[in-house]
Amino acid sequence: MSDYLFLANRTDVFFVVSIIIPTFVVMKQTASRLLNVGGRLISLSRPQVMGILNCTPDSFYAGSRQQTEQEIVSRANLIVDEGAQMIDVGAYSTRPGAERVSEEEEMRRLRFALSLVRREQPDAVISVDTFRPDVAKMAVEEYGAGIINDVSGGNPNGAFGSTVSPSADMITADYPPMFRMVAQLQVPYVLMSSAATIHDMILGFARQVQQMRDLGQKDIILDPGFGFGKTIAQNYELLKQLQQLQMMQLPVLVGLSRKSMIWRQLDVTPEESLNGTTALHMASLMKGVSLLRVHDVKMAVESIELFLAMERVEE
Can you give the pLDDT at residue 211?
A: 94
Encode pLDDT of 53-99 as tens digits: 998 775 544 554 566 889 899 999 999 999 999 999 999 876 655 57
- What is the distance between the terminal CA atoms of the chain, rounded to a whole angstrom? 37
Encode pLDDT of 145-170 as tens digits: 999 999 887 665 555 544 444 444 44
Residue 104's SS3 state is helix
Can you give the pLDDT at residue 117?
A: 96
Nearest Cα to Cα of residue 107 among 115, 99, 98, 117: 115
Can you give the pLDDT at residue 26?
A: 40
What is the rounded distance in angstroms from the CA atom of residue 23 to the CA atom of residue 305? 24
Instruction: Find residue 252's DSSP bridge partners.
Output: 222
8-state DSSP, 291: E
The answer to whether the beta carbons of residues 284 and 254 sit under 8 Å apart is yes
Taking CA atoms, 300 is separated from 7, 172, 237, in Å, by 33, 38, 22
Domains of the chain: 3-314 (3.20.20.20)
Can you give the pLDDT at residue 2?
A: 52
Give the residue numbers marked as catalytic: 259, 293
State which residues of the chain have pLDDT below 50: 1, 6, 8, 11, 13-32, 60-61, 64, 161-173
